Structure 1
Amino acid sequence: MTAMTTASAWDVLEGVNLPDGYRVEITDGRIIMTPQGENQWEVILSASTQIKKQLSGKGRILSDVMIDFPSTLFGYAPDMAVIAPGAERNSRRRFEWHDVEAVLEVVSPSSENNDYVKKVRAYAECGIPVYVVIDPAEGVSTVHNAPSRTGVYREAERVPFGNDLFLPLGDRTLVLETGDFPVEPPTPGAAAG
């Protein structure tokens, strides 16, 4: 078991009863609670079912589960996290950032800046090999690869819904069919882009 040498952003929530039905994360030291939308849930259900089947016991997938990152300002519970085979929980009973092979986040209007900007930087700095942003409003996913400790991914590919997503995880590649991912209807009164 790996020993943690730094405090976790999650420590501030120790002993707090969090409301059911809300996703809780910490960004820039702020606690953010958001309800999960129907389209977001449908994407998570579809993708996690596909991933679990392909992992065949070699690793695991978690959804909205706290991961310990090396920061007291950022505590993320990714929509989906693929955990490496053989990874063990730390003394807090959580997996750590270095156990994560891929993160998939489903964008909602309230999480757009976090998913497209802050999490790209944080996940790249931590060396998360694959980061996927799934955007039902745009009907597109962006697969980020080749993280740099400077907070950028050197490769990014936009994949429209309906096309397969390829997630390279070391010696294996997961394939996600996106044909059943729901596309959000345009917001009434919003200009078409």
Structure 2
Amino acid sequence: MPLLPEWMTPPRAEGWYAEDLDLLPEAPKHTELMHGAFVFRHLPEPQWHDTVLGQVAAALEDQASKGGRVAREVAVRLDRRNRPEPDLLVTTRAYEEDRTWFAPEDVQLVVEVVSPESAHRDRTVKLRKYAEAGIPHYWCIEDEGSRPVVHVYELDGPTRTYVPAGIFRGSLKRPVPFDISLDLDALTP
């Protein structure tokens, strides 16, 4: 059985810390940290995932100028042992070229485009973790017969859990975190 490279051995018994990712040039791009453990993304993603992600990012960029900035594949440092990297996020922070993560309070919306490899994390683990961190809005985009279906969640502040705000097919209109209107049928590859 081949040995793991030395850099993959956690430096402490409780695993990795969020700041460790910035000190590991050996780590593959898009490595996430969940519960102190590395999560390596399956690349390349399916074409459907990348096409829908690119089109949603472009649409949100066009509409976000009034209320935020769109960033693709930049991590959110939820706490010391969790630094997931959503497919897309909307932030209130200005762009900085060397930025590797955002704090939860700087994030208005997180978008995950579900792929077979990420389905469990996107639907359960990240849903809970983003809510506990106080991120106000979460979208989970699913492939339903090659058409995007968006499951939208809003944060219930007192309980720090997400509540469903709708399942959108065909089109999506939301007043938060800014006025958003998406023609979902136009997003298909």
TM-score scaled by length of structure 1? 0.75
Question: Could you tell me the percent identity over the aligned residues?
Answer: 26
AA in 2 matched with 1:144: Y
Offset from partner CA, 1:137-185 (integer Å, 9 cap, x none):
464210001334645213331112x22242611xx322222113338xx
Distance 2:164 2:70 in 1: 23
2:68–2:90 Cα contact (<8 Å) kept: yes
Runs ≥4 residues deviating over 6 A: none
Tell me by how many angstroms 1:40 deviates: 1.0
- The corresponding residue for 1:52 is 61
Offset from partner CA, 1:101-155 (integer Å, 9 cap, x none):
0000000111111111111111111111110000114642100013346452133
Match for residue 37 of structure 2 among 30, 35, 42: 30
Say which SS state the counterpart of residue 157 (structure 1) adopts: strand
Distance 2:47 2:154 in 1: 28
Is 1:128 the counterpart of 2:135? The answer is yes
Say which SS state the counterpart of residue 109 (structure 1) adopts: coil
Superposition RMSD in Å: 2.6
TM-score scaled by length of structure 2? 0.76
Is 1:110 the counterpart of 2:112? The answer is no
User: Residues 165 and 32 from structure 1, CA distance in 2 versus in 1: closer, same or farther, beyond 3 angstroms?
Assistant: farther
1:122–1:151 Cα contact (<8 Å) kept: no
Distance 1:75 1:123 in 2: 10
- The corresponding residue for 1:182 is 188
Gaps of 5+ in 1: 1-7, 184-193
Say which SS state the counterpart of residue 19 (structure 1) adopts: coil
- The corresponding residue for 2:108 is 101
2:75–2:100 Cα contact (<8 Å) kept: no
AA in 1 matched with 2:176: P
